Every structure is written in C-alpha cells, then in structure tokens.
C-alpha cells in the first residue's frame, strides 16, 4: 500500500476528508520552500504537493506563476525539487510532485521515477498529459511504486472520467472549475457534480482543487470530496510576507485554519 493509499484509509476511518497543500519548490528559496512546506504539515496538512517549476505553466494562475518565475530565475531545477521532496517526506506526510510533462520527459521518464521514489516521493500529478498519452509514465511509475494522479474537469465526458480513473492510483484530481488555478471567493457549483460523477465509476478517493482559500470553503468541499487541495492561497501567503520567516508563519496559520474547516465537516465513517 502506498503512503497516499494509507493516508486515505486513515482519513476515511476518521470520517473526514484529507487536506493537501501545494507550494512550488524554490520559492522564496529552496530552503525557504522546504521550511514553508514543513510548516504546512505542522499546521495540519495531511499531504504535500511539491510544484516542479516550469517555464510554460498553462494551468497556473498569476499567483503561482509569480512564485514559479522567481524560482526559475534563481536557477531552481529538478534536482532541487527532488531534495525538497526528500526533506518534506521526512515529516511523514505523503509527498507528491505536481509537474507538467515536458520537464519529466527532458529529465528522463524512468530516471525521474527512480529518483523520486528514492527521495521518498509518493507519486506525481501530471497536469497536462492524459492517460491515453502516458504509457511511458504509467510503466515507469508502476515499476517504481509511485502513484499516478490524473485530472478530470467539469468538461470531461463520462467515458473520459472512466478512462482517467482506471489509469489513476492514489487519488483522482477533480479540477473544480474550468481555467487556471487561483483562489476564488466561492467554490464553483460544478465541483460537487464532478466529484459525484467520478465517484460513480471508481473507488479511488476524489480530491478537489482549484479555488479553495479559506476554512469555510475547505469545510464546504470536505462535505462531498475525499480530499481538499489548496495551492494559490498558500503561495499568496509567501508572496505577501515581509520576510521568509513571516511567510512560514502565515503558511502554518492558514494550514491550521483549513485543517479546522476540514475537520468541522467530519462525518461518521460509515457515511
């Protein structure tokens, strides 16, 4: 059983959703990002997504792009991402990489899978490759015991959702809204429908991302999803902080707020 699978067994036994936090590696520095990710875990995040900085992030909104651009300018690369994974995974929280396909392909698919597994990584969210185009990745991930996390969207057909869920492991990432990432004032109404459509064809956990930024929103999503994914709101805390130490504190505080929201939505394990 992978670390992610173990996590969802535990959260389901507790009758609650998992809280997953995202930050890009390398912002405000490699060590600063590691400190912030560990602070997320301290604050109550159950699993961590480590963003692999990429120059053409089609799905990332302006908040994440700002941090990623700064990391790339500073020369952050794949080896820095792998070191970040190793440090964060040492906290005991399942740690996955969020990446576009091009950096993985350039690094070497099997090489990336082997080194990620060696660093203690649990899997990869591949943001821009579909299961029917991911044969090389599925083979490498399977060989090295990594979870394969693919995305579904409100526009996905029933056939596409079924195909995606069949190819995935760990969890299915449900993009709650169409468009790029970014905190929103309210969670899109399509989110619950997309989760229900996906849960109808798979026993894998279905986690919602794109838009959650407050404890109240986390509570709302946790009432129908198996996991709540938060990214831009954490990045914004780092961007707005007057110094790295303050940013770490702000990230920890947001994680605690979100974790409290998720736990308010807890239901009986049989629900």
Local structure of residue 132 (DSSP, 8 states): G
Strand 18-24 to strand 47-51: parallel, antiparallel, or no bridges (unpaired)?
parallel
pLDDT of residue 176: 76
Q: Is the pLDDT of residue 177 over 70?
A: no
If you average pLDDT over residues 192-206, what whole number do you get? 96
| Confidence (pLDDT) at 59 | 75
- Residue extents of the structural domains in the chain: 3-262
Rounded to the nearest integer, the mean pLDDT of the chain is 93
Interval 83-122: pLDDT, tens: 999 999 999 999 999 999 999 999 999 999 999 999 999 9
As annotated, the active-site residues are 49, 60
pLDDT tens per residue, range 152-166: 999 999 999 999 999
Would strands 147-149 and 123-126 be described as parallel, antiparallel, or unpaired?
A: parallel
Place of tokens 């429908």: 193
Judge whether 136 and 118 are in contact, CB under 8 Å: no
What whole-number distance in Å separates Cα of residue 74 and Cα of residue 232?
Answer: 20
CATH code of the region 3-262: 3.20.20.70
User: For residue 121, what pLDDT is reported?
Assistant: 98
Closest listed residue to residue 231, CA positions, set 26, 50, 85, 3: 50
Say yes or no to pLDDT of 268 above 70: no
Instruction: Reply yes or no on whether the pLDDT at 199 is more than 50.
Output: yes
What is the value of pTM for the model shown? 0.93
Greatest mean pLDDT among 25-34, 127-136, 212-221: 25-34
The rounded distance, in Å, linking the Cα atoms of 238 and 28 is 7
- pLDDT of 271 > 50? The answer is no
The predicted pLDDT at position 182 comes to 42
pLDDT exceeds cutoff 90 at 270: no
pLDDT digits (tens, 9 = 90+) for 225-245: 999 999 999 999 999 999 999
């Amino acid at each position: 059983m992978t670390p992610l699978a173990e996590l969802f067994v535990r959260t389901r036994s507790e009758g609650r959703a998992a809280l997953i936090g995202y930050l890009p590696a390398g912002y405000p520095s490699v060590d600063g990002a590691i400190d912030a990710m560990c602070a997320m875990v301290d604050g109550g995040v159950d699993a961590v997504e480590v963003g692999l900085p990429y120059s053409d992030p089609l799905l990332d909104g302006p908040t994440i792009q700002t941090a990623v651009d700064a990391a790339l300018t500073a020369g952050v690369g794949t080896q820095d991402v792998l070191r970040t994974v190793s440090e964060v995974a040492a906290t005991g929280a399942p740690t996955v990489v969020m990446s576009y396909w091009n950096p993985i392909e350039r690094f070497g698919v099997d090489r990336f899978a082997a080194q990620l597994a060696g660093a203690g990584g649990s899997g990869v969210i591949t943001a821009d490759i579909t299961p029917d185009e991911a044969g090389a990745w599925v083979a490498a991930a399977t060989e090295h015991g990594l979870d394969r996390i693919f995305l579904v969207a409100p526009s996905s057909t029933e056939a596409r959702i079924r195909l995606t869920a069949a190819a995935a492991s760990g969890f299915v990432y449900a993009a709650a809204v169409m468009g790029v990432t970014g905190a929103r004032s309210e969670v899109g109404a399509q989110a619950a429908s997309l989760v229900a459509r996906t849960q109808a064809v798979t026993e894998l956990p279905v986690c919602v991302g794109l838009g959650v930024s407050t404890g109240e929103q986390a509570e709302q999503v946790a009432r129908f999803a198996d996991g709540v994914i938060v990214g831009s709101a954490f990045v914004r805390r780092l961007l707005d902080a007057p110094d790295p130490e303050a940013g770490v504190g702000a990230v920890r505080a947001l994680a605690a707020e979100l974790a409290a929201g998720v736990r308010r939505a807890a239901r009986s394990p049989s629900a």
